[in-house]
Amino acid sequence: MDRYRVAITIRSFDDTGPGMADLLRSCEITYQNKTGKRLTEGDLIRAVRGAEGVIAGTEKFSGRVIGSSGDLRVISRVGVGTDSIDLVAARGKGIIVLTTPDAATQAVAEHTLALILAVMKRIGVYALSMRSGNDSIEPGSLLSGKTAGVIGLGRIGNRVAGILDVLGCRIIFFDPAPRIPPRDGWQEAGSLAELLARADIVTLHVPAQEGGAELIDERGIASCKSGSIFINTARGSLISEKGLERGLREGIIAGAGLDVFPAEPYRGPLLAFPQVVATPHVASFTVESRREMEREAVRNLIEGLSEVRS
């Protein structure tokens, strides 16, 4: 059987890892992104030309990219979300879209905890102050005893809630269709508005909304418990950027830990606030989780290509 023709468009893929070894056993690499950057639409069109399968990251597979993709039959994402892919266009061309939902859970949960602690302990503020010779101090906050509002109780949300529970937080959650049963003692909020009004910490673990709609708009931010903090390791479109900026300026929101943004790479106004701890969409990017995600993505790709060729 002919080898599968595969393009690697993700901005980082380990050439020496087990995923690449698995890939090379049955595939011909027609393109590999070694720029370290997300490919533009034009770059993607050129990159996938002649490929049957793609190992993808968060680069945007627009309708134009998919429409010009020729032989493309499988897009296998190293990651969970599919909002960077025009799924309607993909279905129209019979392209299978696959993800790696399990491998990133622990890494994203740990990154979420790191952002919570960094904001509450003012680590980002102190790091900037000390570099400029400013040794002034202000008190941080204890995590223990706080009410943590977890939006989305899937794999990652459940893991985050479990960690925060062990560390002494009261857990409330909002999820219209929880896929994993909550633990005893966790309280279900009757609405998103109730969670926002009660939570000291709000952490998001849900997919992007249809059409990139905001889950928490300006009014939602304004209704939050005063002095609360926001953590987002899910999707940047979920929170109103304008609303969060206003909440930070007016003190409704004491701080935020953000790994995802409305547009990436992000250069927007939220970076001007020292109480915002920002990371460049790297929550799942650990050596261990990345290795497993890449291997899972390759398995998915080869199985998908085998299915469409049979």
Residue 119: pLDDT over 90:
yes
Residue 69: domain span: 4-101+286-309
pLDDT band at 11 (very low <50, low <70, confident <90, very high): very high
Residue 310: pLDDT over 80:
no
**b/e per residue 26-46 (b: at least 16 CB within 10 A):** ebebbbbbeeeebbeeebbbe
Residue 103: pLDDT over 80:
yes
CB 258 within 8 A of CB 229: no
Residue 277: pLDDT over 90:
yes
In angstroms, how far is CA 143 from the centroid of its own chain? Answer: 23
Residues 119 and 84 in one domain: no
Higher pLDDT pick, 128 / 62: 62
DSSP assignment string, 157-215? HHHHHHHHHHTT-EEEEE-SS-SSPPPTTPEEPSSHHHHHHH-SEEEE--PPPGGG--S
- Domains in the chain: how many in total? 2
Share above pLDDT 90 across residues of the chain, in percent, rounded to a whole number: 89
Q: How far apart are CA 257 and CA 283, in angstroms?
A: 11
Residues 37 and 124 in one domain: no
The pLDDT value recorded for residue 176 is 80
CB 111 within 8 A of CB 92: no
CATH number at residue 69: 3.40.50.720
Q: How far apart are CA 172 and CA 98, in angstroms?
A: 31
Residue 206: pLDDT over 70:
yes
Residues 160 and 235 in one domain: yes
Share above pLDDT 70 across residues of the chain, in percent, rounded to a whole number: 100
Cα→Cα distances 14→11, 82, 108, 140, Å: 10, 22, 19, 39
Instruction: Summarize pLDDT for 18-60 with one digit per residue, the tens.
Output: 999 999 999 999 999 999 999 999 999 999 999 999 999 999 9
The pLDDT value recorded for residue 1 is 59
Instruction: Summarize pLDDT for 140-155 with one digit per residue, the tens.
Output: 999 999 999 999 999 9
Residues 73 and 197 in one domain: no
Residues 303 and 222 in one domain: no
Cα→Cα distances 127→123, 124, 135, 267, Å: 6, 5, 10, 20
Q: Which residues are catalytic?
A: 235, 264, 281
Residues 96 and 146 in one domain: no
Instruction: Summarize pLDDT for 173-196 with one digit per residue, the tens.
Output: 999 877 788 999 999 999 999 999
Instruction: Summarize pLDDT for 224-241 with one digit per residue, the tens.
Output: 999 999 999 999 999 999
Residues 92 and 188 in one domain: no
Mean per-residue pLDDT for 100-114?
Answer: 94
Q: How many CB atoms lie within 10 A of CB 281?
A: 20
Residues 166 and 185 in one domain: yes
Residues 233 and 210 in one domain: yes
Residues 129 and 246 in one domain: yes
Residues 253 and 290 in one domain: no
Please compute Rg for the chain using Cα positions. 21
The pLDDT value recorded for residue 303 is 96
Residues 291 and 272 in one domain: no
Model confidence, pTM = 0.85
Q: How far apart are CA 5 and CA 74, in angstroms?
A: 11
